[in-house]
Chain A
Amino acid sequence: MKLKIGITCYPTVGGSGVVATELGKMLAEKGHEIHFISSSIPFRLNKMYCNIFYHQVEVNSYSVFQYPPYDLALASKMADVVKREKLDILHVHYAIPHAVCAILAKQMSGNEVKIVTTLHGTDITVLGHDPSLTNLIKFGIEQSDVVTGVSNSLVQQTHELIAPDKEIKTVYNFIDEREYHKSNSDYLKDEYGIREDEKVIIHVSNFRSVKRVKDVIQAFYLTQKKMPAKLLLVGDGPEVTTVLKLAKDLGIDDSVLFLGKQDNLAELYSISDLIFLLSEKESFGLVLLEAMACGVPCIGTNIGEFLKSSLMGRQVIFVNWEMSKWLLKKRLDF
């Protein structure tokens, strides 16, 4: 059964944008017709497919609007595409605003399009605490035909915070194995000045405080005292300056390589011996899965039901976050 599927996501935002785009590409390869409806072309849509279409949402800043009306422009574009292309499914990522836009678009189009909403985390874990938005999130969830969440802990949290009268199914995130696999990238070690005897630890994140990158630096500081090692920091965000200052204060700035945002993560994972993900909170932890697909063992904080139940095993060592914080504060020397 070939379906016509509209997909809406934030095209440039972390895990959700990646998963939405990869899913669209794979569904297209199976013969479904895919219509991306988003504000810019998804950044992972890097190849031509004859059955993938892109419909850009243009948000105009008319002076009559105090704020540019992204959600209304999106709902209007969705309704156009649903009607013209006779879509079977609108698969939207994030309850607000995207599910709510899809509900409006369905009403506008008059078509029997089905709405599938995937919850990724921040729409629930952050916005769910705002009482002014709870009812809107609840509405978006309850009026969707099917709702999924990327982890068991997220589904549980949604029921606790929002209490929707709706079943939510867990469907895990995934990665494209064709992109994430171990390759011979040893030349990169030479280019980064990493010696043969040095171990490589990698951390990939958006450098927000919730990622606890300063703990990564502290843990690396203790590790490199016992064995020659380099730390690769990949990504960018608000904590970069303080993180690099900490590395300098600890006298390890020569061993900490800040690479900024990088596209070819698989190559960087391929030269890495270990990944640290010491976040205070994660809905899924896609970078761990990416690293695992390249054969990199992980050390992560024990941060959610999903990671506890789904990634538990010999490939991931968990550390209780509160305990690691306390230990690192004490600067214990292992």
Chain B
Amino acid sequence: MVAEKAIGLLSDPILHKRFSEAALERANTEFHSDTIMSEYEAIYIQALEGKSME
């Protein structure tokens, strides 16, 4: 099954390009370092203010 998926993806340049672009897009938005760092900064502030996490 793994090999089947790999062969399907590697032998179809258009599908491969779509996957590649989607990977870049996802990594650079939801998991962008600025996004995650801001979440930690907010957590530090909330910890200092003694608020529970919501």
Chain A residues with a Cβ under 8 A of chain B: 1, 3, 5, 22-23, 26-27, 30, 88-89, 91, 114-116, 145-146, 148, 167, 169, 171-177, 180, 182, 199, 201, 215, 219-223, 226-227, 229, 273-274, 276, 278, 289, 291-293, 295-299, 310-311, 313-317, 319-320, 323-324, 327-328, 334
Contact = CB atoms under 8 A, between A and B. Distances in A.
Contact of B47 (A27, A116, A229, A323): A116
Chain A facing B: main interface SS: mixed
Given A22-B33, A328-B2, 12 more contacts: A30-B37, A174-B36, A215-B2, A219-B3, A222-B2, A226-B3, A229-B10, A273-B16, A278-B2, A296-B23, A297-B20, A315-B23
B1 interface: yes
A297 B10 CA distance: 10
Q: Is the interface of B mostly helix, strand, loop or mixed?
A: helix
A219 B36 contact: no
B22 A273 contact: no
> How big is the B interface, by class?
35 or more
B22 A313 contact: yes
A293 B27 contact: yes
Contacts of B4: 334
Contact of A89 (B1, B47, B52): B47
Interface of B: 1-7, 9-11, 16, 18-28, 30-33, 35-37, 39-41, 43-48, 50, 52-53
A89 B25 CA distance: 33
A289 B27 contact: yes
Contacts of A88: 44, 48
Contacts of B25: 315
Given A222-B3, A328-B2, A171 B43 contact: yes
B8 to A, nearest CB: 9
Contacts of A172: 30-31, 36
Contacts of B20: 295-297, 315
Contacts of B10: 199, 223, 227, 229, 273-274
Contacts of B30: 172, 310
Given A26-B33, A328-B2, A311 B44 contact: no
Contacts of A334: 3-4, 7
Contacts of B7: 223, 226-227, 334
Nearest to A314: B22
23 contacts: A1-B45, A26-B33, A27-B40, A30-B41, A115-B47, A116-B44, A145-B47, A146-B46, A171-B40, A172-B36, A173-B31, A174-B32, A199-B10, A201-B6, A219-B2, A222-B3, A226-B3, A273-B16, A292-B23, A292-B26, A296-B23, A297-B9, A320-B1
Given A314-B19, A315-B22, A176 B11 contact: no
Nearest to B37: A26
